[in-house]
Structure 1
Amino acid sequence: MSIRSESVKAFIENPIVLSTVTSWFLAQVVKAAIMLLKTNRKSGREILATIAWRTGGMPSSHAALVSAMTTSVGLNQGLQSNLFAVAFFISLIIMRDAMGVRRSSGLQAKSLNSLGRNMEERMGFEYHPVKEVQGHAPLEVIIGALLGIFIAAAYAYL
């Protein structure tokens, strides 16, 4: 086996990588399952789109990913490591952003689209809606973070 192949294999088998990717993927699958239960959109394309890249909703895959990464780094490298400190603060920024800036801009986009539709109906203006990026409610972030922590712990201890 070549050095390059061994490096790729080591990366893929790394517990930090495994727990991080697993947490993100599981959060997206749970999000798709919740979407299926809540809505009538049950096409395969909708489900795959949700699993692959949709943001917002329960649980937060952003929070699951970064909390799994941080927990794995802490368990593998130690809480005193520089890498843990960096991962911890990046995680805080990402989770705060998911609840704050992204949620806020999504609510603003929703209001703007409502106003635009009203103007279009009343005054005949053509309105092109803006994308409504959905952020997360605090509970969605907490559940995502707990999911990531539990998955990272499972990879470390099982």
Structure 2
Amino acid sequence: MSGFTEFLYELFSNTILLSGVVGWLTAQVIKTIIFAITNHGINWSRLVGDGGMPSGHSATVTAIAVSCGIQDGFDSPVFAVACIMAIIVMHDAMGVRRETGKQSEVLNHLVEVVYSKTLSPEEKLKEFVGHTPLQVFFGFLLGLVIALIMNF
């Protein structure tokens, strides 16, 4: 095997990495479908956007952490690091990032009222940046299922 071929083989054999990628992709597709159903139209930016149901961040980090636990043991240092990082990411999604989205919504509205002008999409601050606890929970569940499927 050539060096590049071996690299690709190793990359696509990495179940931990693939679990995270599949977790994120699955969450983003589900999020796009839910958004389309609830808003009666598709918004392709939801495929890569933040916020929404389920949390792609939570699905990704949970799939990675659980895969680490399955492969290296739930008592391993690798699982411990992945688990703590997952907790930090999920907490941040519900805390700072969610508050940032709320503040953006208020500021966008304030600018429109004070200046009597409708902001263009380019001028508006991003409002979909964080997650509700329910969105994080369903992202967690999705990541757990993905990890189990990918590893067994």
TM-score computed with the length of structure 1 as normaliser: 0.87
**Matches of 2:6 and 2:132 in 1, distance apart?**
42
**1:20 corresponds to which residue?**
20
**Matches of 1:83 and 1:114 in 2, distance apart?**
45
Moved more, 128-137 or 26-35: 128-137
Moved more, 138-147 or 8-17: 8-17
**Matches of 1:117 and 1:50 in 2, distance apart?**
24
**Matches of 1:147 and 1:28 in 2, distance apart?**
11
Q: Which amino acid aligns with 1:100?
A: G
**1:3 corresponds to which residue?**
3
**1:54 corresponds to which residue?**
49
Deviations 1:30-71 (A, max 9, x none): 0011011011333xxx33x222x1110000000000000000
**Does 2:30 correspond to 1:35?**
no
What displacement does 1:2 show?
1.1
Task: Give the alignment's Cα RMSD to 1 decimal.
Answer: 1.8
Deviations 1:64-118 (A, max 9, x none): 0000000000000111211111101110110001000000011011111111111
- Provide runs of 4+ in structure 1 moved above 4 Å: none
SS in 1 for 2:126: coil
Give structure 2 stretches of 5+ with no counterpart. none
Say if 1:16 and 1:73, in contact at 8 Å, map to a contact too.
yes
**1:72 corresponds to which residue?**
67
SS in 1 for 2:86: helix
Give structure 1 stretches of 5+ with no counterpart. none
Deviations 1:91-149 (A, max 9, x none): 0110001000000011011111111111112xx8x995323243100000000001101
**Matches of 2:19 and 2:124 in 1, distance apart?**
38
Match of 2:135 among 126, 140, 145: 140
Say if 1:116 and 1:129, in contact at 8 Å, map to a contact too.
no
**Matches of 1:130 and 1:33 in 2, distance apart?**
24
**Matches of 1:153 and 1:129 in 2, distance apart?**
40
TM-score computed with the length of structure 2 as normaliser: 0.90
Deviations 1:7-26 (A, max 9, x none): 22112121111211111111
**Matches of 2:9 and 2:130 in 1, distance apart?**
35
**Does 2:122 correspond to 1:131?**
no
**2:150 corresponds to which residue?**
155
Q: Which amino acid aligns with 1:99?
A: M
Q: Percent identity?
A: 39
Match of 2:85 among 90, 111, 122: 90
**1:117 corresponds to which residue?**
112
Q: What is the number of equivalent residue pairs in this alignment? A: 149
**Matches of 2:84 and 2:124 in 1, distance apart?**
35
